[in-house]
Amino acid sequence: MKKGTVFFDYDGTLHNSMLTYGPAFREVYADLVKNGYLEYQELTDEEISHWLGWTVEDMWNTFAPDLPEPVWRKASMKIGRIMDERLESGNAGLFPGIKDVLIQLHDEGYELVFLSNCGKQYRDKHLSTFGIAQLFDAAYTAEEFNFIPKWQIYQKVKEHHPKPHVMIGDRFHDLEVATRAGIPSIGCAYGFGNPSELEAADIVVNNPQEIPAAVKQLIG
C-alpha cells in the first residue's frame, strides 16, 4: 500500500531547463529582432528563466503581446527543436541528486506523479533520456488536457492517486495547485521562481536532497 502521492513539476524542479531553454530562447529571440518583429534588449538568464513553466500561449501573450500568433507559434517550434537538439547531444541535465531523490521516494513507498505544462513528446523524450520513466506511476502534460491550468489538471486526476497528496514545484503555477486543492506544498528555491512565488509553500527546500525529509514531514 502506497504512503501517499508526490506530484512533481518538471522544469525547474527536476530538470535544469536553462541548459536547453536559455540558448534556444536567445537564438530565436535574435531571429525575431533581426526580422523586425521585436526591438532588441539585453536579456539576463533570470529574465529568460522567468518564462519556464508558463504555457506557450501565456508566455508569448505576456512577453510579446503584439507578436502575431503565426509568428510566435513558429518561434516556439524552433525553440523546441533547438532544445531537442541539445537534449540529444548531451547538453541537458537534471538538477544534481534528483534521480537519487526520486529513487528514494519510490523505494520508500510513495507514488510519484509527473505534472507539467509541457507537451507529450517533450515528456517522453526527457523521461527516456534520463532513465526515470519507470519511477513515475503517471505522467501528465498540459497538452493532454488542452493546455488548461495545472491546478485544473490536478483536479481532474487527483482521485486516481492514493492520498495524502503533496505538490512540489518552483513556480506559482505549482503552488497554485496546492492552495486551490487544500493540499501541502514544497517550494524549490533552487529552481527558477522568485522568492515571492514560494511564499505559499509549506516548506521551501534549497536543494533536491532536502525533498525526502520535507515529504515525510508533510504527509508522513
Say yes or no to pLDDT of 53 above 80.
Answer: no
Is the C-alpha dihedral spanning 97, 151, 154, 121 positive or negative?
negative
- The whole-chain average pLDDT of the chain stands at 96
At 1 the pLDDT is 82
Q: Is 110 in contact with 211 (CB distance < 8 Å)?
A: no
Average pLDDT of the segment spanning 198-202: 97
**pLDDT 10s digits, 82-122:** 999 999 999 999 999 999 999 999 999 999 999 999 999 99
Q: What number does CATH give the domain 5-16+93-219? A: 3.40.50.1000
- Residue tagged 522568485 (cell numbers): 194
Average pLDDT of the segment spanning 121-127: 95
Q: How far is CA 14 from CA 32, 154, 157, 160, in A?
A: 30, 18, 21, 23
Question: Would you list the domain boundaries of the chain?
Answer: 5-16+93-219, 18-88
Q: Cα–Cα distance between 40 and 67 in angstroms, integer?
A: 14
At 102 the pLDDT is 98
Helix %, strand %, coil % for the chain, to 5?
Answer: 50, 15, 35
For residue 176, give every residue at least 6 positions away whose Cβ sits within 8 Å of its Cβ, in sequence order, or none.
Answer: 149, 150, 151
